[in-house]
Chains A and B, each alone.
Chain A
Amino acid sequence: RKEVEQDPGPFNVPEGATVAFNCTYSNSASQSFFWYRQDCRKEPKLLMSVYSSGNEDGRFTAQLNRASQYISLLIRDSKLSDSATYLCAVKVGNAGKSTFGDGTTLTVKP
Chain B
Amino acid sequence: EAEVAQSPRYKITEKSQAVAFWCDPISGHATLYWYRQILGQGPELLVQFQDESVVDDSQLPKDRFSAERLKGVDSTLKIQPAELGDSAMYLCASSLRLAGAVDTQYFGPGTRLTVL
Chain A residues near B (Cβ < 8 Å): 4, 32, 34, 41-46, 49, 87, 89, 91, 94-95, 97-103
Contacts and interface: CB of A to CB of B under 8 A. Distances in A.
Interface residues of B, number: 24
B107 A94 contact: no
B109 A42 contact: yes
A44 B107 contact: yes
Contacts of B85: none
A2 to B, nearest CB: 9
B55 interface: yes
A87 B42 contact: yes
B25 interface: no
Nearest to A88: B42
Contacts of A34: 104
B45 A97 contact: yes
B41 to A, nearest CB: 5
Contacts of A103: 41-42
Contact of B108 (A41, A43, A49, A89): A43
